[in-house]
Amino acid sequence: MTYENLDAKLINALLGDGRASLRSLAEDLDVSVTTVSNHLRDLEDEGVVEGYTPIVNYDALGYDVTAIIQLKVEGSALPEITERLKDQRQMISVYEVTGDYDIIAIGKFTDTDGMNRQIKALLTDADIRESNTSVVLNAVVENEQFELDIQDE
């Protein structure tokens, strides 16, 4: 077997089962356990694979309100505001973006009252010029990762 696609195949196998043992990965990929271990260590060292974490269903834990918060901020305050958002535990994603707004943050909340309190606290910042909040009605797809393309051998 050539190793040209081994890293992509290894990543795809981990996407299918992040808890797979090195032995089962080696069997599935038809390589030695040492080869899998070495490639996996290299992928981790290069920052391609950043960790192994469960996918949490926040709805099942009572965090069934998802809010998408768009903010316009004063340019010099952008790093400070994004850092504040990042530090709020219920913000699961924070992005600096192009377009009409500067920041988009996605948060999970147990109810709209808690969401409202957190957003109002955020909006007391004088560097936030404008905001727009949308509540998600239905998450069609969430936390999805995609498999990598494998080149023909």
69 pLDDT above the threshold of 50: yes
CATH number for the domain whose boundaries are 6-45: 1.10.10.10
Using 50, 70 and 90 to split pLDDT, how confident is the model at 1?
Answer: very low
CB of 39 closer than 8 Å to CB of 1: no
Read off the pTM.
0.83
50 pLDDT above the threshold of 80: yes
Average pLDDT over residues 31-40: 96
Domain ranges of the chain: 6-45, 59-135
Burial class (CB in 10 A: 0-12, 13-18, 19+), 52: exposed
CATH number for the domain whose boundaries are 59-135: 3.30.70.920
pLDDT digits over 94-127, tens only? 999 999 999 999 999 999 999 999 999 999 999 9
CB of 108 closer than 8 Å to CB of 115: no
